[in-house]
Structure 1
Amino acid sequence: MTISSPSATVTQRLPDQGVVWLAGGALFLGALVLTDIISLRMASLFLIGGLMGAALFHASFGFTGGWRRFVEDKRGVAIRAQLAMVALAALVFFPLLAQGEAFGQPLVGALAPVGVSVVVGASLFGLGMQLGGGCGSGTLFTVGGGSVRMLVTLAFFIIGALGGTAHLPYWLSLPALEPISLGASLGVPLGLGLTLAGLAAIAAITLLIERRAHGNVEPIGAPLPQKGKLLTGPWPLLFAALALAVLNVLTLIIAGHPWSITAGFGLWGAKIASAFGVSVADWEFWTWPGQARALQNSVLADTTSVMDFGIILGAALAAGLAGKFAPKVDLRLGSLIAAVLGGLMMGYGARLSFGCNIGALFSGIASGSVHGWVWMICAFAGSVLGIRLRPLFFGRGASK
């Protein structure tokens, strides 16, 4: 799942009408059902998830391939797009979170403790995403795009996340600092300024390394897709970054908290395990008020789960519109083992570190949480190790 600027020479394909009708119909009917049995608010978040899935697919906007391309090829355009996305969201998050509410909706940021669990979990996640072939968002949008192998990654992602819920109380007993919000502790101007400066510094480092390696840098892309490409793609990375930042802001305003992905996986695992007679409700994690309520209620009442479903369907719709929905089956033993191990590591690591590249890095840093920065550093370090281990599973020179 390599992220790069979509080529202008991509051959135009005809939309897959069957996929378009199926995915589009599912999004439409899903929104109607959610409006009827849950709320218009939940239906809105479901459709926002659909738009996120479309943006992710049309720009091939994930973290796994972009980080790998920087490590292996010294090309950092994808990382700069990710940094731009975080910066754009932070510009709105900081003042909104300082205000504490929007249109009567209380707002909370993606804040978490900084401790052993984040360091271990993020490192494990970074390693796992290079073996599994995608991060949290990347796994969902590639599943929506028809990747059968990524279904394996997702299945074991869910299992790993469930295991993480069993062990999280222990990890939280280890040394950690209380959640640190740059906006709350330093004030919005200084906290936001430091956040933007940090993001700009990382972008500058990627530019320096890329220019030294190649004598030039790849452009991040136009702010808008080419004429007629809005529905069918491909989208420039910068446009996708802007779209995802806006959609995360909408998520914050409507849901009351930023975009997250992997919390839903742990809930799905708990629901499935409970259906098979496992006493998940007795685990300490699932006795906590919010978790107990989520386990007791329908999965359709869980914001993260509903948005995850929307991402998959939105990516499927985008794939159909682009004529790129093509289920791929990779039955090579090494690839399947990597999918299993990667999924387990990502699920477990995400639970320990309070999220993935979206919930911890994107939403965390945009919220001013210091844990988001620690997560990014540790996940990148783990990712470098994962890149070194990939040839053991995919062979020399293999890329996904």
Structure 2
Amino acid sequence: MQLGGGCASGTLFTAGGGNARMLVTLLFFILGSLIATHHVDWWFALPSFPAVSVVKTFGVLPALLVNLALFGLIALVTVKLEKRRHGQLEAPPVTDHRGLSRVLRGPWVLVWGAVALALLNYATLALAGRPWGITSAFALWGAKAASGLGVDVGSWVFWQSAANAKALAAPVWEDITSVMDIGIMLGALLAAGLAGRFAPSLDIPTRSLVAAVIGGLLLGYGSRLAYGCNIGAYFSGIASGSLHGWLWLVAAYAGNVVGVRLRPVFFTGERPQVALSGC
């Protein structure tokens, strides 16, 4: 994420909003996802723990309380760390837009975004019959492109499951995740246009371009193994009561720590993060 410039949803949003570099990240995100589907049978054959649902284990209310307590703890720790490093919390962006103008041009109040995400995830669950996901479409797009080039992806174990084989054989517009992903990009394009921020540029520094390639490949490959990115694996994973959502958070945090350290290598002018004292 640190090298590519965003997660799956962030990549779609910024690419749709006119960021040419993020189109490179998206392209290699798709390629990484495709490569992972070729290897996924090897990964899933490794020894594994049984699936754990905190809802089935503890019940709905206790699971909800535990999750809320963990989120509260994370918020408390991050607030303390930010104040220790910077002296104060980052101030919310100031805008002169009010009412409908703010809805169309942004930035939104964070609570608005949180409520919208919750409602949209519920709508996705009601309409699609499953929580919100994004990255499965990338693997599908890559597989269809490879098939068009003569690669027999249908013989790969991943694409032989009933659901995946059906998606591979059907048109892209019949895949719910693909339609939603395209919708995100079109929505970002509309938002950027309304805000007067749509200004794509092909002037991409070489190192930044290399970071987009590496980051995109890692994002694509990892998202297939983790059953998604920050939406499918983390957001929807935790919302559905799966323990893997929290495990994803731990691994993603560790990866971002490494990624932040690597950013100055690829992005000119960035300084390494100042080490926290007393930790």
- Classify the TM-score, shorter chain: over 0.9
For the pair 1:240 / 2:118, whether they are aligned, the reply is no
**C-alpha distance in 2 between matches for 1:336 and 1:277:** 28
Instruction: Report the counterpart of residue 187 of structure 1 in structure 2.
Output: 59
Alignment counterpart, residue 213 of structure 1, candidates 75, 85, 108: 85
TM-score computed with the length of structure 2 as normaliser: 0.92
**C-alpha distance in 2 between matches for 1:307 and 1:130:** 24
CA-CA distance at 1:332 after TM superposition: 1.4
**Identity of counterpart residues, as a percentage?**
55
Alignment counterpart, residue 318 of structure 1, candidates 149, 172, 191: 191
CA-CA distance at 1:241 after TM superposition: 1.9
Other structure's SS at 1:306 match: helix
TM-score computed with the length of structure 1 as normaliser: 0.65
Instruction: Report the counterpart of residue 212 of structure 2 in structure 1.
Output: 339
Cα-to-partner distance string for 1:275-329 (whole Å, 9 max, x where unaligned): 0100000001101111111101111111111100000000101111111111122
Instruction: Report the counterpart of residue 168 of structure 1 in structure 2.
Output: 40
Cα-to-partner distance string for 1:256-291 (whole Å, 9 max, x where unaligned): 111111000000000000001000000011011111
For the pair 1:134 / 2:11, whether they are aligned, the reply is no
**C-alpha distance in 1 between matches for 2:212 and 2:90:** 31
Q: For the Cα contact (< 8 Å) 1:221–1:236, is it kept in 2?
A: no
Cα-to-partner distance string for 1:7-54 (whole Å, 9 max, x where unaligned): xxxxxxxxxxxxxxxxxxxxxxxxxxxxxxxxxxxxxxxxxxxxxxxx
5+ long unaligned stretches in structure 2: 273-279
Cα-to-partner distance string for 1:60-99 (whole Å, 9 max, x where unaligned): xxxxxxxxxxxxxxxxxxxxxxxxxxxxxxxxxxxxxxxx
CA-CA distance at 1:177 after TM superposition: 1.5
Q: For the Cα contact (< 8 Å) 2:211–2:266, is it kept in 1?
A: yes
CA-CA distance at 1:180 after TM superposition: 1.1
Q: For the Cα contact (< 8 Å) 1:221–1:237, is it kept in 2?
A: no
Alignment counterpart, residue 285 of structure 1, candidates 158, 161, 170: 158
Other structure's SS at 2:204 match: coil
Distance 1:258 1:389, change over 3 A: same
Distance 1:171 1:301, change over 3 A: same
**C-alpha distance in 2 between matches for 1:257 and 1:251:** 7
CA-CA distance at 1:152 after TM superposition: 0.6
Instruction: Report the counterpart of residue 365 of structure 1 in structure 2.
Output: 238
Q: For the Cα contact (< 8 Å) 1:220–1:238, is it kept in 2?
A: no
CA-CA distance at 1:398 after TM superposition: 6.9
Alignment of 1:57-76 (within 5 A): none
CA-CA distance at 1:219 after TM superposition: 5.8
Instruction: Report the counterpart of residue 259 of structure 2 in structure 1.
Output: 386
For the pair 1:255 / 2:128, whether they are aligned, the reply is yes
For the pair 1:199 / 2:71, whether they are aligned, the reply is yes
For the pair 1:308 / 2:181, whether they are aligned, the reply is yes
Aligned residues: 269
CA-CA distance at 1:175 after TM superposition: 2.2
Which stretches of structure 1, 4 residues or longer, exceed 3 Å deviation after superposition?
218-222
Alignment counterpart, residue 225 of structure 2, candidates 347, 352, 355: 352
Instruction: Report the counterpart of residue 5 of structure 1 in structure 2.
Output: none
Distance 1:391 1:268, change over 3 A: same
Aligned amino acid, residue 290 of structure 1:
A
Cα-to-partner distance string for 1:185-229 (whole Å, 9 max, x where unaligned): 11101111111111111011111112223343346689xx83331
* Bigger Cα displacement from structure 2, 241-250 vs 361-370: 241-250
Distance 1:279 1:262, change over 3 A: same
Aligned amino acid, residue 200 of structure 1:
G
**C-alpha distance in 1 between matches for 2:172 and 2:121:** 21
Distance 1:398 1:332, change over 3 A: farther
5+ long unaligned stretches in structure 1: 1-128
Distance 1:220 1:169, change over 3 A: farther
**C-alpha distance in 2 between matches for 1:219 and 1:195:** 27
Instruction: Report the counterpart of residue 276 of structure 2 in structure 1.
Output: none
Alignment of 1:87-126 (within 5 A): none
**C-alpha distance in 2 between matches for 1:192 and 1:219:** 30
Instruction: Report the counterpart of residue 106 of structure 1 in structure 2.
Output: none
